[in-house]
């Protein structure tokens, strides 16, 4: 497959002021992409965008992934500014270590609303623009989607949901020429992980992320893998590759089921019927 050339592409990133989002923005700018940074704090993303080179190549927008209206408004403004969107990276997310027995129910709901519902809202808001350019949707999930550790049920459930959402949406949009990718990194250094390690509970659960399966990897390794994933329009990006077998075993059966049970023509007709039943919305 020919590489998906990033030079000149417009890439929108939610969670764009965070450690991963900003590092990705810098790497993609180095490839010649134009960057739209979206985050809760509009002043911060404006400042970060200026550092990336100014409004011709990078700009920031305030957006709350917990509100579809907010994301839709921001994406429409991105299109007005840059003329379109080729790639979106749904990267907004949170992680707090807590047990089911002690956590406030609102904490579970907040993880679901940001980590999972936020991806849905982002994809929903940007799809009309991405399909015009036969572009690519990417969501940041986690190794927690397929390795479910203790005191992380809320996080693992949300990230497994992101994986499932991407697999389902990929079937819905492939006839449009749109790709959908899901990224599953292990632990890597970000302000979010600094907070997890500073928490005695989080530090104990993951052994300080010093060795074995939970050993921290470098942010640069994550960025390189994600950028390659975009250039290859990958369905799934596993970081590091040693986790690939664990991740791909359920995926093997998914591919068989998709090939046998879901034909493009049937999906297109099903979508048409669904739109008709809902008044064309």
Other C-beta atoms within 10 Å of 6: how many? Answer: 20
Q: Which two tokens stand for residue 68?
A: 């579809």
265: buried, middle or exposed (CB in 10 Å: 19+, 13-18, 0-12)?
A: exposed
202: buried, middle or exposed (CB in 10 Å: 19+, 13-18, 0-12)?
A: buried
Is 155 known to be catalytic? yes
Other C-beta atoms within 10 Å of 32: how many? Answer: 12
- What 49-55 contacts at long range (C-beta under 8 Å, 24+ apart), as own/partner pairs, is 52/25, 52/26, 53/29, 55/81
Question: How far apart are alpha carbons 136 and 268 in whole angstroms?
Answer: 19
Other C-beta atoms within 10 Å of 219: how many? Answer: 17
Q: Which two tokens stand for residue 61?
A: 């927008």
Q: List the catalytic residue out of 95, 129, 136, 155.
A: 155
Which residues are catalytically annotated? 155
């Amino acid at each position: 497959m020919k590489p998906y050339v990033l030079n000149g592409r417009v890439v929108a990133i939610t969670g764009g002021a965070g450690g991963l989002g900003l590092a990705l923005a810098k790497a993609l700018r180095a490839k010649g992409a134009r960057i739209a940074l979206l985050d809760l704090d509009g002043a911060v993303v404006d400042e970060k965008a200026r550092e990336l080179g100014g409004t011709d190549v990078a700009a920031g927008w305030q957006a709350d992934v917990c509100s579809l209206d907010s994301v839709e408004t921001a994406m429409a403004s991105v299109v007005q500014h840059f003329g379109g969107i080729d790639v979106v990276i749904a990267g907004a997310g949170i992680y707090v270590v807590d047990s089911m027995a002690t956590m406030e129910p609102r904490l579970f709901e907040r993880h679901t609303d940001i980590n999972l519902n936020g991806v849905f809202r982002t994809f929903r808001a940007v799809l009309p623009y991405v399909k015009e350019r036969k572009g690519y949707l990417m969501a940041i999930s986690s190794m927690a989607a397929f390795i479910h550790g203790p005191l992380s049920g809320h996080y693992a459930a949300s990230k497994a949901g992101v994986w499932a959402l991407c697999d389902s949406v990929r079937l819905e949009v492939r006839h449009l020429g749109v790709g959908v990718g899901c990224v599953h990194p292990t632990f890597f250094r970000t302000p979010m992980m600094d907070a997890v390690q500073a928490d005695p509970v989080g530090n104990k659960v993951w052994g300080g992320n010093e060795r074995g399966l939970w050993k921290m990897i470098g942010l640069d390794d994550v960025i390189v893998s994600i950028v390659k994933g975009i250039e290859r329009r990958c369905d799934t990006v596993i970081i590091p590759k040693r986790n690939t077998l664990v991740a791909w075993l359920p995926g093997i059966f998914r591919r068989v089921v998709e090939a046998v049970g879901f034909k493009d023509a049937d999906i297109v007709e099903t979508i048409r019927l669904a739109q008709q039943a809902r008044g064309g919305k």
